[in-house]
């Protein structure tokens, strides 16, 4: 003999035991002992939908339906100002709790509308919403860090995902670099990477021109499917392809430093010349998301500034300048951002690492509290040339030694502004920890 309890039945009867008896058309007293034993043994919450087999005293929760999330959060969570991360207590706001807050409080939907959109009953929505408000209130009052993650959900814009067991695999393809290894792909002094994860597809910089798009087509990568773009800094070899991209992909937002478009950039290497983007981006101004704070979190991504000054910056920076409207001055790289992604072992994209690869990794470790798994990008350590002397062999050796000591399990993949001789010196000490990328290079990180 079985009875099925639903939210509707519980709402009508107001009591589990009465609800069971109502469904079985028996008096409460005759089933009381078996009912209490079953509940105590299995420990199922009285708010869950259950199937009850009175004869065998078994209670089996029904499988929960995936809650539909039509607009995933742009951030990974929130951190209160003024409290060091290591001292923060963390609380979790589940994806469905975030969605309930978004639909009811932000969008202003009625409960019936929000419940239908999330594919849940109205009483279930009410419980989700109340738990969400309790978590947010606790975080505000106690100064907790909020992580937005978890739950059995279905993202409308992506395939079905169990957020507790979300696939961590990343696929990376280099669409633009100074070097190539045969084939028909085009090279340039520029850098652009394509990153594909279970949560999103994105571009890390867009090279010096639209060549990255032509290479993407040859590599069967759909640029129209890119969800967002990250720009590491304002030099044209990383931002030059942006006008072409904005015309081709008309939906993806572009994340960049709030300082990037307020300044002009120059280099005196091979003669003093401008290295800023000269295109008018005003028609696309609504596509830009300016990062004005030290850290921005969304979808397990952290965009941050390298604030650490523990190590020296690259000597090649001495040839680089900027003009923020008050005359040409040495570039302090207040427009440089670092991209890191991952729940545990981070993937870190350095761009050109103008603030120094060691300062960048030190800053990422401090701001996220996570282990660095893979580092990819230029190190801005060019080979010395006639009239320009950069890091000496001993100084390169010191950098390699610090990387090996501080990050013994980290994989480094470099190219672009890392010189050939510098790469060989680094690899002599780092061994298989260090590899080189090039236009057309692909890898999968699990």
What is the 3-class SS of the chain, one letter each residue?
CEEEECHHHHHHHCCHHHHHHHHHCCCHHHHHHHHHHHHHHHCCCCCCCEEEECCCCEEEECCCCCEEECCCCCCCEECCCCCCHHHCCEEEECHHHHHHHHHHHHCCCCHHHHHHHHCCCHHHHHHHHHHHHHHHHHHHHHCCEEEECCCEEEECCCCEEEHHHCCCCEEEEEEECCCECCCCCCCCCCCEEEEECCCCEEEECCCCCCHHHHHHHHCCCCHHHCCEEECCCCCHHHHCCHHHHHHHCCCCCEEEECCHHHCEEEECCCCCEECCCCCCCHHHHHHEEEECCCEEEECCEEEECCCCCCCCCCHHHHHEEEECCCCEEECCCCCCCEEEECCCCEEEECCCCCCCHHHHHHHHHHHHCCCEEEEEECCCECCCECCECCCCHHHHHHHHHHHHHHCCCCEEEECCCECHHHHHHHHHHHHHHEEECCECCEEEEC
Please state whether beta strands 338-341 and 346-349 pair in parallel, antiparallel, or not at all (unpaired): antiparallel
Q: What is the pLDDT of residue 299?
A: 65
Q: What is the pLDDT of residue 235?
A: 98
Residues forming CATH 1.10.10 domain(s) in the chain: 67-163
Among 58-67, 341-350, 402-411, the range scoring the smallest mean pLDDT is 58-67
- The closest alpha carbon to 378, from 366, 397, 360, belongs to 360
Q: What is the pLDDT of residue 302?
A: 87
With a cut of 50, say whether residue 42 has pLDDT above it.
no
Q: What is the rounded CA–CA span in Å between residue 382 and residue 390?
A: 7
Residues forming CATH 3.60.15.10 domain(s) in the chain: 170-445
User: Which residue do the tokens 């010349």 mark?
Assistant: 273
- The closest alpha carbon to 311, from 385, 387, 381, belongs to 381
Percent of the chain with pLDDT over 90: 63
376 close to 338: Cβ distance less than 8 angstroms: no
Q: Indicate the class that CATH gives domain 67-163.
A: mainly alpha
Q: What is the pLDDT of residue 37?
A: 37
Does the pTM of the predicted model rise above 0.85? Answer: no
Question: What's the chain's length in residues?
Answer: 446
Neighbour-count burial of 431, counting CB atoms closer than 10 A to its CB (0-12 exposed, 13-18 middle, 19+ buried): exposed
What is the 3-class SS of 138-205, one letter each residue?
HHHHHCCEEEECCCEEEECCCCEEEHHHCCCCEEEEEEECCCECCCCCCCCCCCEEEEECCCCEEEEC
Neighbours of 89 (CB within 10 A): 11
Mean pLDDT of the chain: 84
Q: What is the pLDDT of residue 65?
A: 67
With a cut of 60, say whether residue 323 has pLDDT above it.
yes
Under the banding of pLDDT at 50, 70 and 90, the label for residue 411 is very high
With a cut of 80, say whether residue 34 has pLDDT above it.
no
355's CB contacts (< 8 A; 6+ apart) are: 306, 313, 333, 336
With a cut of 70, say whether residue 18 has pLDDT above it.
no
Q: What is the pLDDT of residue 85?
A: 67
Percent of the chain with pLDDT over 70: 80
Under the banding of pLDDT at 50, 70 and 90, the label for residue 91 is very high
With a cut of 60, say whether residue 41 has pLDDT above it.
no
Structure tokens at 324: 């923020």
- The closest alpha carbon to 339, from 241, 194, 446, belongs to 194
Which one is predicted more confidently, 149 or 74? 149
Section 171-189 average pLDDT: 94
Q: What is the rounded CA–CA span in Å between residue 231 and residue 229?
A: 7
Give 94-147 pLDDT, tens digit per residue: 989 999 999 999 888 999 999 998 999 999 999 999 999 999 999 999 999 898
CATH architecture, domain defined by 170-445: 4-Layer Sandwich (3.60)
Which one is predicted more confidently, 401 or 154? 401
Q: What is the pLDDT of residue 24?
A: 41
- The closest alpha carbon to 363, from 296, 412, 294, belongs to 294
Q: What is the pLDDT of residue 74?
A: 67
Q: What is the pLDDT of residue 368?
A: 82
35's CB contacts (< 8 A; 6+ apart) are: 16, 17, 20, 52, 54
Section 39-58 average pLDDT: 42
With a cut of 80, say whether residue 56 has pLDDT above it.
no
With a cut of 70, say whether residue 218 has pLDDT above it.
yes
With a cut of 70, say whether residue 369 has pLDDT above it.
yes
Phi, psi of 384, deg, nearest 5: -65, 150
Which one is predicted more confidently, 31 or 308? 308
Q: What is the pLDDT of residue 153?
A: 75
Q: What is the pLDDT of residue 298?
A: 66
52 close to 38: Cβ distance less than 8 angstroms: yes
Give 347-360 pLDDT, tens digit per residue: 999 999 999 999 99
363 close to 308: Cβ distance less than 8 angstroms: yes
Q: What is the pLDDT of residue 155?
A: 66
With a cut of 80, say whether residue 407 has pLDDT above it.
yes
Q: What is the pLDDT of residue 194?
A: 98
């Amino acid at each position: 003999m079985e009875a099925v309890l639903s939210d509707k039945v519980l709402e009508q009867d107001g009591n589990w035991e009465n609800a069971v008896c109502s469904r079985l058309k028996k008096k409460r007293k005759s089933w009381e002992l078996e009912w209490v034993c079953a509940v105590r043994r299995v420990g199922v919450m009285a708010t869950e939908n259950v199937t009850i087999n009175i004869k065998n005293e078994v209670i089996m929760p029904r499988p929960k339906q995936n809650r539909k999330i039509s607009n995933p959060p742009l951030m990974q969570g929130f951190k209160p100002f003024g409290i060091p991360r290591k001292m923060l207590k963390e609380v979790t706001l589940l994806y469905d709790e975030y969605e309930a807050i978004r639909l009811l409080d932000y969008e202003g939907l009625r409960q019936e509308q929000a419940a239908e959109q999330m594919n849940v009953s109205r009483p279930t929505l009410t419980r989700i919403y109340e738990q969400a408000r309790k978590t947010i209130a606790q975080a505000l009052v106690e100064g907790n860090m909020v992580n937005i993650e978890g739950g059995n959900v279905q993202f409308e814009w992506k395939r079905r995902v169990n957020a507790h067991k979300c696939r961590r695999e990343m696929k990376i393809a280099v669409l633009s670099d100074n070097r190539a290894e045969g084939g028909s792909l085009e090279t340039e002094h520029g850098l652009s990477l394509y990153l594909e994860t279970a949560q999103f597809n994105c571009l890390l910089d867009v090279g010096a021109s639209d060549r990255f798009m032509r290479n993407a087509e040859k590599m069967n990568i759909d640029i129209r499917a890119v969800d967002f773009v990250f720009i590491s800094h304002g030099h044209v070899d990383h931002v030059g392809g942006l006008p072409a991209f904005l015309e081709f992909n008309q939906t993806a937002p572009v994340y960049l430093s709030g300082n990037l478009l307020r300044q002009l950039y120059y280099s005196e290497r091979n003669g003093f010349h401008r290295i800023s983007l000269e295109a008018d981006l005003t028609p696309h101004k609504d596509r830009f998301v300016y990062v004005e704070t030290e850290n921005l979190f969304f979808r397990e991504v952290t965009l941050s500034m390298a604030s650490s000054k523990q190590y020296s910056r690259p000597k090649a920076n001495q040839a680089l300048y900027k003009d923020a409207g008050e005359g040409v001055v040495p570039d302090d790289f207040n427009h440089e951002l670092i991209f890191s992604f991952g729940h545990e072992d981070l993937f870190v994209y350095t761009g050109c690492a103008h603030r120094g690869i060691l300062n960048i990794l030190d800053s990422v470790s401090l701001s996220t509290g996570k282990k660095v798994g893979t580092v990819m990008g230029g190190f801005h350590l060019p080979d010395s040339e006639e009239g320009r002397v950069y890091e000496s062999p001993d100084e390169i050796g010191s950098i390699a030694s610090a990387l090996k000591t501080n990050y013994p399990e980290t994989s480094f993949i470099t190219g672009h502004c890392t010189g050939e001789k510098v790469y060989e010196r680094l690899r002599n000490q780092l061994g298989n920890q260090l590899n080189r990328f090039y236009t057309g290079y692909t890898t999968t990180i699990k």
